[in-house]
Amino acid sequence: MKRAKMSILTLSAVLLISISHATVFSQARGTTSRLRQTSFRSLGLELSLIGMQKTKAFRFDKFKALKSDDEKTRLDYFSSELQRDPTLTGYIVVFGKRGGPASEAKKRAQNAKNYLQTKLPGRDLFTIDYCTRAAVEYELWIVPKGKKLPSFCQKPR
C-alpha cells in the first residue's frame, strides 16, 4: 500500500513538473499556453495551474485582432478559468493601433466585456483601452483578490 501511495505522489510530481516546464517553454516562445486552460486528471487527482498562480496577476492570453468566432473562443476559455474561483478578477486590455482611431480599442474592449458578462453575470470585469501598439492586440489578465495589475503604457493616448 505504501508503494502505491508513493507511486501516485511521484506520478503527480512528475506531471506537475512537466506541466510547468511546458508552460515556461510556451511562454518563452510567445504562444498562449492551453495548459493553463485545462484541468489535468491523474489517478483521481485534479491539478489546475490556476491554483499555482494565485500569488500574482498573470496574463492568461494574448492575441491580435481575430474573427468574431475565434475571439469568442478565446473569451470562453478565459471565462471558464474565471468561473473556477470567484475571488479572481478579469481584465480585458485592448491596445489600439498606433495612429488609429481611439474609439476602436474602446469599442473592442466593450464588446469583449459585454460578451463575457453573458458568461459571468454579476462578476467584476474591467477594461483598459487607452494604450497603443503597432497593431490591435488583446491581453486577458487574471488578478487574484488584493493583487495589482501591472502598468501597460507610460501615457494614455
The tens digit of pLDDT for each residue in 75-97 reads 999 999 999 999 999 999 999 99
Residues 113-124 have a mean pLDDT of 94
Q: Of 84, 2, 69, nearest to 36 (Cα)?
A: 84
Instruction: Give the pLDDT of residue 154.
Output: 58
Mean pLDDT, the chain, whole residue set: 74
Q: Which residues contact 122 (CB under 8 A, 6 or more apart)?
A: none
Instruction: Give the pLDDT of residue 153.
Output: 77
Instruction: Give the pLDDT of residue 1.
Output: 52
Task: Report whether 142 contacts 50 (CB < 8 A).
Answer: yes
Instruction: Give the pLDDT of residue 24.
Output: 37
> Is the pLDDT assigned to residue 10 strictly greater than 80?
no
Instruction: Give the pLDDT of residue 64.
Output: 95
Q: What is the pLDDT of residues 14-62, one digit of tens each?
A: 333 334 334 433 343 344 444 444 444 333 333 444 454 568 999 999 9
Task: Report whether 47 contacts 40 (CB < 8 A).
Answer: yes
CB atoms within 10 A of CB 49: 19
